[in-house]
Chains A and B, each alone.
Chain A
Amino acid sequence: MKDVLAVADTRDGGVLGVSRETVGAASGLAEAWGGSVDAAIPGATEGEVALGADRVLRMPLSNEAAGNPDLVAGALAGQVQGHGYSAVVFAATARGRDLAPRVAARLDVPLATDVIAASVEEDDVVVRRPVYAGKAIARVRMLARPAVISIRPNVFERAPSAAASSADALATPADVGAGTYRVLGFEPSRDVALDVAEAEIIVSGGRGMQGPDHWHLLAELRDALGETAALGASRAVVDAGWRPHAEQVGQTGKTVTPKLYFAVAISGAIQHLAGMRTASVIVAVNRDAEAPIFGVADYGIVGDAFEILPELARAIRELRDN
């Protein structure tokens, strides 16, 4: 029997929605092998966790311990070796990116990150993953066992929200004192309500916005679009100090896959496209009809962002109010 381990993402004791995508990807592999899916949940979670896995492995950890990647990776690697999974699936979130290479190294196997498709072929896990910032897609065969992969958020189907048939607790060292990795604190970004990498809708502004004082126009559109919307920015904007780097989309910023992406007063340089070209729907607003962004946008409006943004925010608010 070939079983698959899916590693859930938690924050402050709660399981993040992306975890159902992780389980969804794991289920695809397990089905092909006729095995089952276990979901490990690092971080104390109370009550039912409906992730769609066959079995849930709780890892009761304090927030502090859950924030220590070496401790969590050690426990996960122990579980993988003990059970003998054929594949291990993470989400390519900040946490997953931190854990997956540590677990793979402990297991002495390679890792494929940011996977956008995974299947079993001739008994091997074969994945597709973007390379060169999305300018190409590589098809990669994982020769070693277990196959360790991390999946790009917002790409895989979510597993049904169903409770597991059984639950176990996974033994994890409770004490982080012995480790040399100490989390001293967390400073939430000022006025960043939702991280751009986690948003379903992104309203990004570029240099054409002319300065930070005009960002309220973008913020109003974001607010009109609801709680799943976040602000993004081009590098020109971040380099000018108008917005924090956490909001930068692109090759040296974040790679995002929202269902709707607004590029407002952004020219569409190749390094910006690298971060957002996999969005489901792209809307561009630019006063230059020749701007390269129109080459990738599904819908474009040629015009002045300062006139269009307030109108767009108003129209969307009206739509949502009805």
Chain B
Amino acid sequence: MKIAVCVKRVPDTGTRIRIADDGRSLSSDGVKFVLNPYDEFAVEAALQLAEAGVADSVTLLTLGPEEAKETLRHGLALGAHDAVLLRGETTMDGWATAQALAAELARREDGLVLLGAKAVDDDQQQVGPMVAGVLGRPCVTSVTEVEVADSVATCRRAVEGGQEVVEVDLPAVATVTKGRYEPRYASLRGIMMAKRKPIAEKEAAQVAPGLVVEAIEYPPERQPGRIVGSGTEAVGELVRLLREEEGVV
């Protein structure tokens, strides 16, 4: 069985963001880009399935600019076998992204397609089930652990109040979140080997976005708070404020 993992290049979560002069996008000056943290979980899940002998190859797939190759190289250094760059524009329209990814995935024969539960730039949490929708395959979201046997994937998923266990027939799609998977680090050997692994490059089959970002703004600053006091003497005043000023207790 083959596994494909969709990965996205996103700004590092610690980056201070700056809105560009057009007021509708981010300035990429000085921004460090990384493999989306949730996609690291998905890559880790795929690599563990490969190590367990369930999968014989792990292919990375990204839609993005030329620079996204760096992200692919990082994933290859972790242990993925090969990668595909769909050269194209990423927008907040996850449906457009999903269609471009699915067009490529439809040509492949992956038993399992893994994605991250969310990309930490647009925070949309939607591409996985949409890809599955185009492909007509079942999709399990927010998966914390996946096992594959006899053409069935058994997934544990995080839901409010606990864990649900869901089974789907392959081929299937799953979105991965933090759980059992602790992303590995790239070894020096992995980094060396990644240089020789193949990255196929294609133009993405893109549809026009069906939503437009008209503006990006900074969130309203929180009013500077106040230190009520120090030590246990401050507790009485804090509780009074929470009751009388805020009405929250």
Contact = CB atoms under 8 A, between A and B. Distances in A.
Nearest to B234: A301
A308 B237 CA distance: 13
Interface residues of B, number: 84
Interface in B184-224: 209-219, 222-224
A57 B124 CA distance: 28
Interface string A233-275: 0000000000001101001110000011000000000110010
A296 B17 CA distance: 18
Interface stretch (B67-75, B80-88, B135-143): B135-143
Given A141-B211, A281-B246, A301-B228, A180 B235 contact: no
Contacts of B133: 101-102, 105-106
A112 B123 CA distance: 10
A192 B158 CA distance: 13
A109 B158 CA distance: 27
Given A136-B216, A140-B92, A141-B212, A312 B238 contact: yes
B25 to A, nearest CB: 10
A106 B126 CA distance: 13
Interface in A169-219: 179-189, 192, 194-195, 197-198, 201
Interface string A131-154: 111111111111110000000000
Contacts of B238: 283, 299, 301, 312
A189 B158 CA distance: 10
Interface stretch (B1-9, B49-57, B103-111, B166-174): B166-174
A140 B213 contact: yes
Nearest to A255: B123
B229 interface: yes
A69 B132 CA distance: 12
A277 B222 contact: yes
B242 to A, nearest CB: 7
A289 interface: yes
B30 interface: no
Contacts of B148: none
B160 A94 contact: yes
A14 interface: no
A70 interface: yes
A199 to B, nearest CB: 11
Contact of B95 (A105, A114, A187, A316): A105
A132 B211 contact: no
Interface in B224-245: 224-232, 234-236, 238-239, 241-243
Given A106-B133, A311-B232, A316-B239, A139 B14 contact: no
B230 A303 contact: yes
A299 B236 CA distance: 13
B219 A136 contact: yes
